[in-house]
Amino acid sequence: MEPILKTKENQQVLNDLTTPIVKTGRNFKLLMLVLSIVIVFGIFAYYRQLKHGLIVTAMRDYTSWGIYISNFVFFVAVSLVGSLISSILKLANAKWSYPLTRIAEMVAVASIICASIIIIVDMGRPDRFFYVITHARIQSPIIWDVIVIITYLVISILLLLLPLLPDLAICRDQLNGISQWKKRFYKAISLNWKGSPMQQKRLKRASSILEIMVIPVAFAIHTITSWLFATTWRPGWDSTNLGPYFVSGAFMLGAAVIVIAMYFVRRNFHLQAYLTHEHFDKMGKILVMLSLVYLYFNINEYLGPAFKMVGVEGEHVTELFSGKYATLYWFVQIIGLILPIIILLFRRGRKPLIMLLVSFMVLLGAWLKRFLIVIPSLQHPYLPIQDVHESYHHYYPTWEEWAITFATFAGVILMVGLMMKIFPVIPITESINNRSSKIADNDTSNK
């Protein structure tokens, strides 16, 4: 591994990209502390839920899926970013995107772990999760979802680990002043990587296969999640559009999450030379394209039912357009979708700080959108709600639900943060190789 690090410039790259691993700032420690407190509070809320049962939530017979499921769909959507950046852009030979791959893979792994956790929280009795496996009905989309989530988690971990091997070997061989456990960890996880031609060949082969395979699996995970809704007979879910609608929304959200992560990584780890304005500009273009695709699916999703206004389906659409959920619905459509498109269409709108704000708008809109997908549909069953307790008629999440939901968000940020303290957040080897190839290209053009 040493030859590539011989030049002074490359040594500089190594120093820049491993500084976050070697040094830990006070702000980072403070962030980790705050996140840990949020998680502990969430665990306390979960303890109460385990002790008293799901009655501590606002979920009842009709609204039996609450913000837990909205959150689950949200995190599954975020996890798709791994396939977008690490696979689709890589296969499209978008070389500019290499500094983003590691961030995307970390976010994907953390999100899918939290999505898995939240679905078990929603079950109420976690011990019964094993019945889902032991009494699995292959006809049920729920078991397809369980299978595809486990598969995607394994693939996401592999997608993170494989390109990491050369960097882990660099950390193992080059990093001084790190703790003993970290050294042992790098030694164990770098799998004896020496960069020999045979190792390179095997790694390239495995990575190529994985990059292709992750695309159908990523599409499957979110399509199957949409089928959990589409195969349940409820207004708003009875749609053939739901699969692509979910997938396109997930890609848009994933791109926004990457922009947010990029901004903070760039600023806090002082990586302005690696995550440039050009990266934000290009991610902005990708985000606007994905938002336009999502807008198209949004129109498709609502135009048909709104035009026909048939029965309960009509009531559901009216509730969204001008009823109880109208404020939320129009906030999602305007602030979370249309406004970001307008801002990102302009070059000025694709500057880092503006991109950050726009991405937060998309993120908030996306979470609320999942809320709107789940809750209003459940409150409009085909049979009238009669002779039930008053609490069955509405759904306002309890503090326990909010605490657990915020804990999952904190969990994702904490996991990503910890991974950034262990793994180089920007691929070192690719940065050096990319730099070398740029110099070679310049030399050729000068000649």
Partner 1 sequence: MVIFILGFIMEMFAQERGTKIELIFSDTDSVKLITAIVREQHPEDMGAPVAGIDLYFYVQRSFSLLPIGSVFNTTDESGKVEIEFPSDLPGDTVGNVILLVKIEDTPPYRDTTIQKNISWGIPLVFDEQENKRSLWAARANAPMSLILLVNSILLVVWGIIAYILFQLYMIYKEESASAKKTRQDKCSDN
Binding region for partner 1 (CB under 8 A) out of 133-141, 171-179, 304-312, 351-359: 133-141
* 3-state SS record for 23-40: CCCHHHHHHHHHHHHHHH
Binding region for partner 1 (CB under 8 A) out of 68-76, 129-137, 334-342, 399-407: 129-137
CB of 18 to partner 1, least distance (A): 22
Instruction: Concatenate the DSSP letters of all residues of 48-101 into one string.
Output: HHHHH-GGGSS--SSS-S-HHHHHHHHHHHHHTHHHIIIIIIHHTT-GGGHHHH
Among 213, 292, 339, 345, binds partner 1 (CB under 8 A): 213
Alpha helices in 190-276 (DSSP H): 197-230, 242-268
369 Cβ contact partners less than 8 Å away, ≥ 6 residues apart: 249, 332, 336
Q: Answer yes or no whether residue 198 interacts with partner 1 by CB under 8 A.
A: yes
Q: Answer yes or no whether residue 217 interacts with partner 1 by CB under 8 A.
A: yes
Contact map string, positions 151 to 170, toward partner 1, x by CB under 8 A = x--xx--x--xx--x-----
CB of 189 to partner 1, least distance (A): 10
Q: Answer yes or no whether residue 92 interacts with partner 1 by CB under 8 A.
A: no
Per-residue exposure over 145-171, b if at least 16 CB sit within 10 Å of its own CB, e if not: bbbbbeebbebbebbbbbbbbbbbbbb
Whichever of 156 and 408 has its CB closer to partner 1, that residue is: 156
Among 138, 180, 383, 389, binds partner 1 (CB under 8 A): 138
Amino acid in position 322: S
Whichever of 200 and 433 has its CB closer to partner 1, that residue is: 200
CB of 61 to partner 1, least distance (A): 22
Q: Answer yes or no whether residue 191 interacts with partner 1 by CB under 8 A.
A: yes
Task: Decide if 1 contacts 194 (C-beta within 8 A).
Answer: yes
Alpha helices in 309-391 (DSSP H): 311-322, 326-333, 339-345, 352-378
Taking only Cα atoms into account, the Rg of the chain, rounded to an integer number of angstroms, comes to 23
Whichever of 162 and 378 has its CB closer to partner 1, that residue is: 162
Q: Answer yes or no whether residue 135 interacts with partner 1 by CB under 8 A.
A: yes
Going by C-alpha positions, the residue among 332, 371, 365, 373 that lies closest to residue 237 is 373
Going by C-alpha positions, the residue among 391, 339, 332 that lies closest to residue 367 is 332
Going by C-alpha positions, the residue among 338, 379, 378, 385 that lies closest to residue 358 is 338
Whichever of 56 and 136 has its CB closer to partner 1, that residue is: 136
Binding region for partner 1 (CB under 8 A) out of 82-90, 108-116, 150-158, 179-187: 150-158
Q: Answer yes or no whether residue 139 interacts with partner 1 by CB under 8 A.
A: yes
Binding region for partner 1 (CB under 8 A) out of 73-81, 198-206, 287-295, 381-389: 198-206
Instruction: Count residues binding partner 1 (CB under 8 A).
Output: 29
399 Cβ contact partners less than 8 Å away, ≥ 6 residues apart: 45
Q: Answer yes or no whether residue 219 interacts with partner 1 by CB under 8 A.
A: no
Binding region for partner 1 (CB under 8 A) out of 72-80, 115-123, 204-212, 313-321: 204-212
Distance CA 257, CA 75 (A): 11
Going by C-alpha positions, the residue among 284, 294, 296 that lies closest to residue 256 is 284
Per-residue exposure over 408-437, b if at least 16 CB sit within 10 Å of its own CB, e if not: bbbbbbbbbbebbebbbbbbbbbbbebeee
Whichever of 200 and 268 has its CB closer to partner 1, that residue is: 200
CB of 91 to partner 1, least distance (A): 16
CB of 270 to partner 1, least distance (A): 33
Q: Answer yes or no whether residue 91 interacts with partner 1 by CB under 8 A.
A: no
Task: Decide if 295 contacts 344 (C-beta within 8 A).
Answer: no
Binding region for partner 1 (CB under 8 A) out of 98-106, 178-186, 208-216, 380-388: 208-216
Q: Answer yes or no whether residue 196 interacts with partner 1 by CB under 8 A.
A: yes
Q: Answer yes or no whether residue 51 interacts with partner 1 by CB under 8 A.
A: no
For 248, the token pair is 């396109």
- Which residues here bind partner 1, judged by CB under 8 A? 135-139, 144, 147, 151, 154-155, 158, 161-162, 165, 191-194, 196, 198-199, 202-203, 205-206, 209-210, 213, 217
